[in-house]
Structure 1
Amino acid sequence: MLMPYQALRLLFLLGFSLFVASCKKADPDPLADLSSEKIAVVQAFNKVILPIQDADPTRDFTELAPLDTVLAKAQVVGMGEGTHGTREFFRMKDRLFRYLVQKHGHQTIAFEANFGRAVIVNRFIHGQSTGLASAAAAAKSMYFWTWSTDEVRELLQWMKDYNVGKSADKQLSFYGFDCQYADDEFPLITEFLTKVDPASVPRVDSLATQLALLGQASVTDQLRQQYAKQLTTLSNLFISNESQWVALGGRQEYEIARQAARVLFQQQDLGDASSCNYSVKRDRYMAENVQWMLTRANIGKLSLWAHNYHIANIPYASCNFPSMGAILKEQLTNKYLMVGQLLTNGSFTVVDASQSSRNLKTLSVRTEGVNNSFNYLLGKGQYANFAMNLHDAQLGSSLTDWLSAKHPLFEVGALFDESRSEQYYSITALTGRYDLLIHFRNTTPTLLLP
């Protein structure tokens, strides 16, 4: 039996606890600032989104299993990124590729990186002699700062380790489908011609000399035209000698050297990098190079790693011409799966467009400043990170209407001005642009390699 003072003390403690509890602020309602229409959209996508714990590529794959139906139908999976410098985007693509390898029979990944350099990186992954001492060296060698990161290093190291002890037909391969540089293509061609037609090597050396001259300010249109004509002649040489050269040098080696010659032509045809025409041609050539992998290189299933802008189905992109993804979607239809990645808030590695020095920095965005954007509303979901199948039959009318309507969409390429973040929104619909959406509420920058 409690003594009177004990009962009084117990009542005091109970009352005090209730008082503290009543004073404690309730968690703010994340939907409080939304209209009833937008609340209905959030409630609708909360019913269909697939929670993702994080982007760690070493994590168990169980939570990705519900995506098997859409992944199994694809021959080519385009994996996008909403910025070129977000750690979560990069690691999630690594994680998704590992899942595609282990569950869906993928053995090849191709980057938005130059073709010739990727051949060298692929040799490193296969344990061949390249002069690349480590996965970090391989990542740093790919010209773009975007790939000189710990996240890419981690992927390349995993691929190299995966290949150890496996037969050639079970090993993973690395390709590049970009064509902005010509540094590695000439050596690849010379390497092959030395085996099959040494007399043609001086012709290639002459072209390499001409390429160096094209970088000078005094270069004439006549020299440019002469260089382009001779590159066409080089490509035709491969075509006319195919049977003989394949017999002497091997089919795979022949195809790599022949494609290197084609990429040289693409590179010279891009023209001025500041022009609209440059972007149009680049996406067209990248789509062509992906098709080369499927046809000439005989790759059965392929994963692509690029910016959202390139992998997405954008029929009217640069200068109202289609993006790489739009071209591939038209060619491959439902065999091409587009995976877009978006953020609501976060920091990312990017070139600071506000400074003339154009230094790499860690900059940030909060999309609440554009509260009618896709990014902001997706951040209101019950899960911080999630995937959503944009073709899910359970989407519902309110969600389908929202996804199909045009709203602001935040995506950043290589440059960003933090003080003018509103300029980096495009007005577009998500339906048709992507097939599968992966969203991270808060993100961090990629880790640049020293």
Structure 2
Amino acid sequence: MFLNASTPRRGMCVSRMWAMLLHTYFKPDPDMPVLNSVPSNTRPALNTIAGPLGLKLANECRKGWGQLIWRQRRTSLAFLLATSLLVGMSGLSQAQALSHPSPSTPTHALTTLAASHSTQEWAFVDTLVAGKKLVLLGESGHGVQQSLEARNRLFEYLVQTHGFTTIALETGFEDGMEVNEYVNGARSLDDTLVAKVFSFSAPRSWDANRQLIEWMRQHNARVGPAKAVRFYGIEMLGNARYLNGADRSPARRSADAALAYLHQVDPGAGKAWQQRMEPLLAALVQQRYADISSVDRESMTLALADLVKLFERQKNAWTGLSSFQRFQRAYRNALNARNLDTDLRSNGWWAGADPGNRQRNLDMRDASMADNVKWVLDQEGARGRVLVFSAFKHAVRVPRTSHRASDRGFIPMGQQLHTTFKHNMAIIGMIAAREAREFYTDDGLAAFINAGSADVFAVNFRELAGKPDASNWWQTSCTFGDCQQALTSAADAVIFVKTPQAALSATTGRGN
């Protein structure tokens, strides 16, 4: 069977073959750029016309078939046309079969997301999370009310049923530390603190985020310090307002936190380091990184490297002058400041849009998040079990995923954590119907979501065992349109949302 998870890649090759042959027939010309002239939206049609034989030929493109067909282009055109008439319908029927999911796929309706308590609706995750130290939950788009509510209910269930101790979010690291102070009773609540639950969207505050940290605070007050849950941010920066230039101050947040600690444990060194760093941090806030002089960029890189080394040399002394937790927080801030500098120097994610450069290196952001998650687990100790909440593209278990900002894509955090934790972690995705095309190359997944009996429902891929029709259909699905890996390999379960609603504001109650 030639129509499988790699069909779109082959289809591109087939499309170019047909373009080459038809171009030769109607307008003979050895000019090879015609191979790249086929619009992407015509490739599925050409793929169907070509039929299985064309797909097989496409699969052999890299083995020299393309050159052979070019040399024998007139004979090849007649041969492909005749063969397609005989077998094209077979290819079409196979393509249609892939567009409609098997009705035997087991689903689990999630109907009480807005409730403030966990229910047995979440029991479908029991086999996935049993004994796992780490669970990744990824949403297909930020700011969806049902996704945020599902996160809250799942975390409550994991804490109450499976003994999870921590939630770590795709938000700024130091922002997360301030939220953690609140959930453990060390500070009061205000709207700016709610925004820090997901600082990427700041200054917006979502009601579901407020509910999350309120539940955590109430839980901790009830169970006491020994069984308290904690909140962490895993982003080196975590604020989109820096990207659009609306507010560049978050770029110095981690460095400032590290320097503030230095002032406390060694005032003399703190003053000297503040004098060294202040002009560089000011430049980072006042202008785009690309506009900072090369001399100042180099000085920033050297200063942050020296700062990290200083923390490492003084670990024992400074821990004794403060505490293990305070030192670790400050040291992690120094590392995040250095990671941000590395990302900016490599024209990475936080460097902002660059339409003229399609080869940007986006890997540092996910590498830093993965490293921060590992640090969180270290802080939690032997009993630590962590739920990580991020965008699904960061959470997936694929070697490399696509991104609109760079043709290179990036190595996801989920893949990097899988390399370390293997079977000691699970991944659950969340996909809204309107974003299904990002995860599947035709309308099959959207049709499956829209046919669901509930507005929000889940599929546990482990339950496909013994159901060959359903299992085969899901195995043909493509992750993020690049068709390198089936969705069943990228995640262990997926929660689907049929009609996504905008997240409700914590202050107005209206959608943002």
> Shorter-chain TM-score: what band?
0.7 to 0.9
Match of 1:311 among 386, 395, 400: 395
Greater displacement, 389-398 / 282-291: 389-398
Greater displacement, 182-191 / 242-251: 182-191
1:221 maps onto 2:276 in alignment: no
Taking only aligned residues, the RMSD between alpha carbons, in angstroms, comes to: 2.9
TM superposition shift of 1:370: 8.3
TM superposition shift of 1:262: 0.3
Structure with the larger strand share: 1
Match of 1:120 in 2: 178
1:4-403 equivalences under 5 Å are 37=97, 41-45=101-105, 48-129=106-187, 133-134=189-190, 136-141=191-196, 143-145=199-201, 148-180=205-237, 181-206=250-275, 207-214=277-284, 215-216=286-287, 218-271=291-344, 272-274=351-353, 277-296=360-379, 298=381, 300-318=384-402, 319-344=408-433, 372-392=443-463, 394=465, 396-403=467-474
Match of 1:418 in 2: none
TM superposition shift of 1:320: 4.7
Q: TM-score scaled by structure 1?
A: 0.76
Q: TM-score scaled by structure 2?
A: 0.68
Paired with 1:64 and 1:406, the residues of 2 have a C-alpha distance of 25
Matched-pair contact (CA < 8 Å) for 1:373–1:407: no
Code of the aligned partner of 2:420: Q
Paired with 2:259 and 2:425, the residues of 1 have a C-alpha distance of 35
TM superposition shift of 1:238: 1.1
TM superposition shift of 1:81: 0.8
Measured at CA, do residues 395 and 114 of structure 1 come closer, stay the same or move farther in structure 2, by a change above 3 Å?
farther
Measured at CA, do residues 35 and 287 of structure 1 come closer, stay the same or move farther in structure 2, by a change above 3 Å?
closer
Matched-pair contact (CA < 8 Å) for 2:99–2:443: no
CA deviations over 1:392-445 (Å, ceiling 9, x no partner): 253522222221213486xxxxxxxxxxxxxxx665621111111111222211
Q: Which ranges in structure 1 are unaligned for 5 or more consecutive residues?
A: 1-33, 347-364, 410-424
Match of 1:3 in 2: none
Code of the aligned partner of 2:377: L
Code of the aligned partner of 2:456: N
TM superposition shift of 1:143: 3.4
Matched-pair contact (CA < 8 Å) for 1:372–1:407: no
Measured at CA, do residues 148 and 203 of structure 1 come closer, stay the same or move farther in structure 2, by a change above 3 Å?
farther
Greater displacement, 175-184 / 378-387: 378-387
Paired with 1:317 and 1:60, the residues of 2 have a C-alpha distance of 33
Paired with 1:157 and 1:264, the residues of 2 have a C-alpha distance of 30
Paired with 1:366 and 1:326, the residues of 2 have a C-alpha distance of 22
Matched-pair contact (CA < 8 Å) for 1:42–1:380: no
CA deviations over 1:330-361 (Å, ceiling 9, x no partner): 21111121110112259xxxxxxxxxxxxxxx
Code of the aligned partner of 2:296: L
Greater displacement, 142-151 / 230-239: 142-151
Answer 1 or 2: higher relative contact order, Cα 8 Å, separation at least 6: 1
Greater displacement, 202-211 / 262-271: 202-211
Match of 2:70 in 1: none
Matched-pair contact (CA < 8 Å) for 1:75–1:301: yes
Measured at CA, do residues 325 and 203 of structure 1 come closer, stay the same or move farther in structure 2, by a change above 3 Å?
farther
Greater displacement, 144-153 / 114-123: 144-153
Matched-pair contact (CA < 8 Å) for 1:86–1:445: yes
Matched-pair contact (CA < 8 Å) for 1:41–1:402: yes
Measured at CA, do residues 406 and 186 of structure 1 come closer, stay the same or move farther in structure 2, by a change above 3 Å?
same
Code of the aligned partner of 1:144: F
TM superposition shift of 1:326: 0.9
SS in 1 for 2:496: strand
Matched-pair contact (CA < 8 Å) for 1:40–1:398: no
Measured at CA, do residues 377 and 40 of structure 1 come closer, stay the same or move farther in structure 2, by a change above 3 Å?
closer
Matched-pair contact (CA < 8 Å) for 2:137–2:392: yes
Shift >4 Å, 4+ stretches: 425-428
Paired with 1:313 and 1:162, the residues of 2 have a C-alpha distance of 32
CA deviations over 1:13-71 (Å, ceiling 9, x no partner): xxxxxxxxxxxxxxxxxxxxx998469843210xx222222422524412222321211
How many residues align structurally? 378
Structure with the larger helix share: 2
CA deviations over 1:144-197 (Å, ceiling 9, x no partner): 227721111111111122222543222121111111244432443234323422
Matched-pair contact (CA < 8 Å) for 1:117–1:184: no
Q: Which ranges in structure 2 are unaligned for 5 or more consecutive residues?
A: 1-93, 238-249, 345-350, 403-407, 508-512
Match of 2:52 in 1: none
